[in-house]
């Protein structure tokens, strides 16, 4: 799905944080790209199990980032697999100058019984 | 202002809707339970526990379900047929689960404590002439220790995380935002195709390991539940029926060579006060009793075959009548037949029963449990 969080081109650095709630395991890759998918650059990769932070300050000026897309892709896996539906939510928190851009995180939520793929695009 | 009958009419559809819409965790038949029966498993539903309707099947505490219902039809500890429903929920996970990441749960004791807390409401209704009573209970279960918590088992979860990372890399590059839905679907399908075999390896390895070492993990749970009873079965007659508190501690001998994968010691205590019981000598009359149950059980063996020795002591104060102290000493053997189906064989002896009916006994049964599948 394609979302929009328009950053301030005159603002400070853009900070991206990935959050997976409900104790699920998210293995992910964050990729910056042009609108046509060209010039893909991985800016953050990892998972929510290891001890490494799941956030990054994008190494580009806001004026350069404006108009680009940030893609979050990966696999969201429940630790416990059973026959019941389990809530899930994945959030892409994009902050600039300490505040969430446009006031809210991008949230993907629903229910799962087993691992599901994640593919979200955010227009900056 | 609402009257009781109006409340009943309004709440009844809510329960029926809940019962119809929510996934059923377990619909387990009850088996007649002797007066000295102890539910060794940590109660799945605290409300049912204080109502005396806890299933006797082998179950483990589930930390995965945020909302579940349980239906029961069976015979209670006093031999009366009961039907009931319990609604169990993990309030913290239900309302704040979206904020609880894997790392936060792993690293924060407070988060684990709150996430594991379970609240339940249960009701049961007698269905025989001797007991037409309706009972309602609220229950709270707090897990203070759970060494078998799958969320704290780092190896399989890292394995799953690495599998996801590999699969994500294998599907690269990422479709453009304007790509067609079929292109995006093809991309996610490639990713999942790469993930599936890796995930299978992780989960099967974990399952084998858990069955070998996880059956006797240490845990400590405390619970409490107030209850109400209507001896006539109507909500307008609901009155206080006392409360119950209990604790179960299982010690898995972690770090002790020779015992850590082969033994488990379980201690259980339960106190129940002001419990209304049908008088077996007068139809429609009820007795009030306080009771203490203490049990100790030593299990030994493997994940597929266990033996056990147990001692149970029951103290009952029946108001205006008598005090009854009785005990049971028994040995049991359980063997997994397949999946979650177990064959059990036990024998033992009772002493101290007020009715003088002490007896030696031999019991065989098939039990089944509804455990987390990956275990």
Which tens digit of pLDDT belongs to each residue from A67-81? 999 999 999 999 988
Q: Report pLDDT for B321.
A: 75
Higher pLDDT: B372 or B310? It is B310
Do A73 and A29 meet the contact criterion of CB atoms below 8 Å apart?
yes
Q: Are strands B67-75 and B24-29 parallel, antiparallel or unpaired?
A: parallel
Candidates A5, A117, A121, A123, partner chain B, best to mutate (most B CBs within 10 A): A117
Q: Report pLDDT for B64.
A: 39
**Residue among A26, A28, A20 nearest A44 (CA):** A28
How far is the C-alpha of A34 from the C-alpha of A82, rounded, in Å? 40
Tell me whether residue B198 is in a domain: yes
Question: Domain check: are B135 and B175 in the same one?
Answer: no
Question: Domain check: are B228 and B358 in the same one?
Answer: yes
Lookup: tokens for B250: 């299982």
* Helix, strand or coil, per DSSP, at residue B356: coil
Q: Is the pLDDT of residue A21 over 70?
A: yes
Question: Domain check: are B181 and B270 in the same one?
Answer: no
Residue of chain B whose alpha carbon sits nearest to that of A54: B103
Q: Report pLDDT for B354.
A: 67
| Residue that has been written with the tokens 């605290």 in this structure | B46
Question: Domain check: are B138 and B249 in the same one?
Answer: yes
Question: Domain check: are B170 and B223 in the same one?
Answer: no
Question: Domain check: are B36 and B125 in the same one?
Answer: yes
Q: Report pLDDT for B73.
A: 66
Question: Domain check: are B180 and B244 in the same one?
Answer: no
Instruction: Establish if A117 touches chain B: CB-CB under 8 angstroms.
Output: yes
How buried is residue B6: exposed, middle or buried, by Cβ count under 10 Å (0-12/13-18/19+)? exposed
Phi, psi of B101 (to 5 degrees): -80, 165
Chain A nearest C-alpha distance from B360 (Å): 41
Q: Report pLDDT for B9.
A: 34
Do B168 and A28 meet the contact criterion of CB atoms below 8 Å apart?
yes
Mark which of B206, B223, B242 sits at the end of a domain: B206
Question: Domain check: are B179 and B249 in the same one?
Answer: no
Cα torsion B277, B280, B285, B288: sign = negative
Scan residues 47-76 of A and list those with Cβ closer than 8 Å to B. Answer: 47-51, 69, 71, 73-75
Structural domain containing residue B353? 24-148+214-368
Chain-chain contact of A45 with B165 (C-beta, under 8 angstroms): yes
Higher pLDDT: B215 or B241? It is B241
* A–B CB contacts, 8 A cutoff, strictly below: 156
Q: Is the pLDDT of residue A95 over 70?
A: yes
Q: Report pLDDT for B369.
A: 45
Of A107-111, B31-35, B65-69, B237-241, the poorest mean pLDDT is in B31-35
Chain A nearest C-alpha distance from B215 (Å): 16
Q: Which residues of B touch A84 (CB under 8 A)?
A: 23, 25, 64-65, 68
How buried is residue B266: exposed, middle or buried, by Cβ count under 10 Å (0-12/13-18/19+)? buried
Q: Report pLDDT for B348.
A: 83
**Please, which residues have CB within 8 angstroms of residue B105's CB and are 6 or more apart in sequence?**
A23, B111, B112, B115, B151
Q: Is the pLDDT of residue A100 over 50?
A: yes
How far, rounded to the nearest angstrom, does the alpha carbon of residue B157 sit from its chain's CA centroid? 25
**Residue among B144, B112, B123 nearest B247 (CA):** B144
Q: Are strands B134-146 and B118-126 parallel, antiparallel or unpaired?
A: antiparallel
Question: Domain check: are B36 and B182 in the same one?
Answer: no
Q: Is the pLDDT of residue B197 over 90?
A: yes
pLDDT category of residue B1 using cuts at 50, 70 and 90:
very low
Higher pLDDT: B131 or A40? It is A40
Question: Domain check: are B333 and B283 in the same one?
Answer: yes
Instruction: Establish if B164 touches chain A: CB-CB under 8 angstroms.
Output: yes
Chain-chain contact of A27 with B162 (C-beta, under 8 angstroms): yes
| pLDDT single digits (tens) B134-145 | 888 888 989 999
Q: Report pLDDT for B139.
A: 87
Q: How far is CA B27 from CA A8, A43, B23, B40, B85, in A?
A: 56, 49, 11, 19, 10
| Residue that has been written with the tokens 């239900």 in this structure | B94
Q: Is the pLDDT of residue B85 over 50?
A: yes
Lookup: tokens for B139: 């229950």
Do B55 and B365 meet the contact criterion of CB atoms below 8 Å apart?
no
pLDDT category of residue B368 using cuts at 50, 70 and 90:
low
Q: Report pLDDT for B363.
A: 63
| pLDDT single digits (tens) B23-79 | 333 333 333 323 334 344 434 566 666 666 554 322 333 343 556 666 666 666 566
Tell me whether residue B189 is in a domain: yes
Supply the mean pLDDT for chain A.
93
**Of B148-157, B167-176, B360-369, which has the strongest mean pLDDT?**
B167-176
Q: Which residues of B touch A46 (CB under 8 A)?
A: 165
Q: What is the CB neighbour count within 10 angstroms for residue A112?
A: 16
Chain-chain contact of A48 with B162 (C-beta, under 8 angstroms): no
Residue of chain A whose alpha carbon sits nearest to that of B66: A86
Strands (E), chain A: 2-4, 14-20, 25-33, 41-47, 55-57, 69-77, 86-96, 99-100, 106-112, 116-123
Do B261 and B116 meet the contact criterion of CB atoms below 8 Å apart?
no
Give the alpha-carbon dihedral of B77, B80, B83, B86, to 10 degrees: -30
Mark which of B137, B171, B206 sits at the end of a domain: B206
Q: Are strands B239-251 and B263-278 parallel, antiparallel or unpaired?
A: antiparallel
How far is the C-alpha of B45 from the C-alpha of B204, rounded, in Å? 29
| pLDDT single digits (tens) B198-234 | 999 999 888 887 777 777 888 898 988 898 888 777 7
Q: Are strands A69-77 and A25-33 parallel, antiparallel or unpaired?
A: antiparallel
Q: How far is CA B236 from CA B3, B7, B8, B229, B244, in A?
A: 9, 10, 9, 10, 23
Question: Domain check: are B281 and B333 in the same one?
Answer: yes
How far is the C-alpha of A89 from the C-alpha of B113, rounded, in Å? 21
Nearest by CB to B374, which of A19, A49, A80?
A80
Q: Which residues of B touch A47 (CB under 8 A)?
A: 161-162, 164-165
Question: Domain check: are B196 and B343 in the same one?
Answer: no
Segment B267-276 mean pLDDT: 87
How far is the C-alpha of B195 from the C-alpha of B171, rounded, in Å? 10
- Prior bond of B185 cis (ω within 30°): no
Instruction: Establish if A28 touches chain B: CB-CB under 8 angstroms.
Output: yes
Residue of chain B whose alpha carbon sits nearest to that of A119: B188
Q: 3-class secondary structure for B29-46?
A: ECCCCCCCCCCCCCCCCH
**How many structural domains is chain B composed of?**
2
Mark which of B206, B240, B275 sits at the end of a domain: B206
Measured at the alpha carbon of residue B158, what is the angle toward residues B152 and B164, in degrees to the nearest 5? Answer: 130
Q: Is the pLDDT of residue B103 over 70?
A: yes
Instruction: Establish if A89 touches chain B: CB-CB under 8 angstroms.
Output: yes
Nearest by CB to A47, which of B25, B105, B165?
B165
pLDDT category of residue B306 using cuts at 50, 70 and 90:
confident
Nearest by CB to B98, which of A22, A78, A119?
A22
What is the ipTM for the molecules in this complex? Answer: 0.92
How far is the C-alpha of B207 from the C-alpha of B372, rounded, in Å? 10
């Amino acid at each position: 799905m394609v979302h929009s969080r328009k950053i301030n081109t005159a603002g400070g650095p853009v900070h991206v944080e990935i959050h997976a709630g409900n104790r699920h395991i998210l293995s992910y890759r964050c990729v910056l790209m042009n609108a046509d998918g060209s010039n893909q650059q991985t800016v953050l990769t990892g998972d929510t199990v290891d001890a490494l932070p799941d956030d990054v300050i994008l190494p580009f000026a806001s004026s350069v980032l404006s108009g680009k897309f940030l893609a979050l892709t990966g696999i969201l896996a429940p630790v416990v697999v059973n026959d019941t539906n389990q809530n899930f939510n994945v959030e892409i928190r994009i902050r600039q100058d300490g505040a969430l851009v446009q006031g809210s995180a991008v949230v993907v939520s629903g229910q799962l019984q087993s691992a599901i793929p994640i593919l979200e695009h955010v227009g900056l | 202002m609402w009257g009781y009958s109006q409340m009943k009419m309004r709440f009844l559809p809510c329960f029926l809707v809940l019962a119809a819409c929510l996934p059923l965790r377990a619909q387990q038949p009850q088996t007649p339970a002797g007066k000295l029966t102890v539910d060794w498993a940590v109660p799945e539903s605290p409300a049912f526990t204080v109502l005396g309707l806890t299933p006797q099947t082998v179950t483990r505490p589930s930390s995965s379900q945020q909302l579940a219902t349980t239906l029961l039809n069976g015979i209670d500890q006093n031999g009366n047929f009961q039907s009931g429903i319990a609604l169990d929920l993990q309030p913290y996970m239900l309302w704040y689960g979206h904020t609880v990441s894997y790392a936060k749960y792993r690293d924060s004791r407070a988060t684990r404590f709150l996430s594991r807390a379970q609240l339940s409401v249960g009701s049961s209704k007698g269905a025989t002439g001797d007991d037409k009573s309706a009972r309602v209970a609220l229950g709270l279960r707090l897990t203070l220790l759970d060494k078998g918590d799958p969320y704290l088992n780092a190896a399989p979860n890292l394995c799953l995380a690495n599998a996801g990372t590999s699969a994500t890399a294998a599907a690269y590059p990422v479709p453009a935002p304007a790509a067609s839905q079929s292109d995006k679907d093809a991309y996610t399908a490639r990713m999942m195709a790469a993930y599936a075999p890796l995930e299978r390896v992780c989960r099967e390895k974990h399952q084998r390991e858990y069955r070998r070492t996880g059956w006797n993990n240490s845990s400590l749970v405390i619970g409490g539940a107030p209850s109400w009873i209507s001896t006539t079965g109507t909500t307008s007659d609901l009155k206080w029926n006392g409360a119950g508190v209990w604790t179960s501690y299982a010690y898995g001998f972690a770090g002790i060579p020779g015992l850590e994968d082969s033994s488990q010691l379980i201690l259980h205590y339960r106190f129940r006060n002001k419990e209304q019981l049908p008088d077996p000598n007068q139809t429609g009359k009820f007795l009030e009793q306080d009771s203490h149950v203490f049990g100790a059980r030593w299990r030994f063996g493997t994940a597929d075959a266990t033996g056990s020795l147990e001692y149970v002591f029951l103290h009952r104060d029946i108001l205006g009548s008598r005090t009854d102290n009785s005990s049971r000493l028994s040995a049991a053997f359980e063997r997994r037949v397949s999946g979650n189906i177990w064959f059990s064989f036990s024998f033992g002896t009772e002493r101290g029963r007020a009715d003088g009916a002490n007896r030696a006994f031999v019991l065989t049964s098939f039990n089944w449990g509804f455990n987390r599948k990956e275990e």
